[in-house]
């Protein structure tokens, strides 16, 4: 039984999740040229400025492209569970910001389409020996809006 949760890495997304504020990825914005980066970076890859500010990124976007992983990758570098489950990885276009590479909660290509609305969510990554669940960010298909 899981006793607690921790993020896969500090500084990737807002933590702990709160009912009053949506989950957000933590990026950075160069104050000199305006380039938005994820994950947050202290230096700008466009203009080499060292002046960046933290920026919370949009929690919804559009599926730009994706691929599915149907077989267990070699270890190392893969450090996921021994029992492999297929997954998908995609690029999500966050409007007016950037493309983010992320796991997708859906791996069936029949249920994914380029241009599909996606929303940010958390996904279990692994469970440590002490029962602590490690979570990571992912994008899920947004529920279709009813007319």
- What is the C-alpha separation between 98 and 82, in angstroms, rounded? 33
Question: Is it the case that residue 140 has pLDDT exceeding 90?
Answer: yes
Which of the residue ranges 4-13, 14-23, 30-39, 117-126 would you say has the lowest mean pLDDT? Answer: 14-23
- What is the C-alpha separation between 26 and 13, in angstroms, rounded? 5
The confidence score (pLDDT) of residue 3 equals 64
Distances (CA, A) of 54 to 1, 38, 51, 122: 35, 10, 10, 21
Q: Taking the mean position of all CA atoms in its chain, how far away is CA 139?
A: 6
Mean pLDDT confidence for 31-52? 96
pTM as predicted: 0.87
Q: Taking the mean position of all CA atoms in its chain, how far away is CA 44?
A: 21
Mean pLDDT confidence for 30-46? 96
When pLDDT is cut at 50, 70 and 90, the band that residue 144 belongs to is low
- What is the C-alpha separation between 62 and 113, in angstroms, rounded? 10
Which of the residue ranges 32-41, 52-61, 65-74 would you say has the lowest mean pLDDT? Answer: 65-74
Supply the mean pLDDT for the chain: 91
Direct distance between the N- and C-terminal alpha carbons of the chain, in angstroms, rounded to an integer = 41
The label of the residue with tokens 């989950």 reads 23
Give phi and psi for 125, each to the nearest 5: -105, -50
């Amino acid at each position: 039984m899981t006793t607690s949760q921790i993020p896969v890495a500090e500084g990737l997304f807002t933590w702990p999740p709160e009912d009053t504020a949506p989950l957000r990825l933590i990026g950075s914005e160069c104050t000199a040229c305006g380039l938005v980066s994820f994950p947050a970076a202290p230096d700008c890859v466009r203009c080499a400025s060292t002046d960046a500010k933290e920026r919370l990124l949009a929690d919804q976007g559009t599926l730009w492209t994706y691929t599915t992983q149907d077989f267990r990758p070699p270890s190392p570098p893969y450090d996921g569970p021994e029992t492999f489950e297929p997954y998908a990885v995609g690029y999500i276009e966050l409007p007016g910001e950037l493309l983010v590479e992320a796991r997708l909660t859906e791996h069936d290509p029949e249920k994914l389409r380029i241009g599909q609305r996606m929303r940010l969510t958390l996904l279990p990554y692994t469970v440590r020996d002490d029962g602590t669940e490690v979570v990571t960010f992912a994008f899920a298909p947004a529920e279709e809006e009813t007319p």
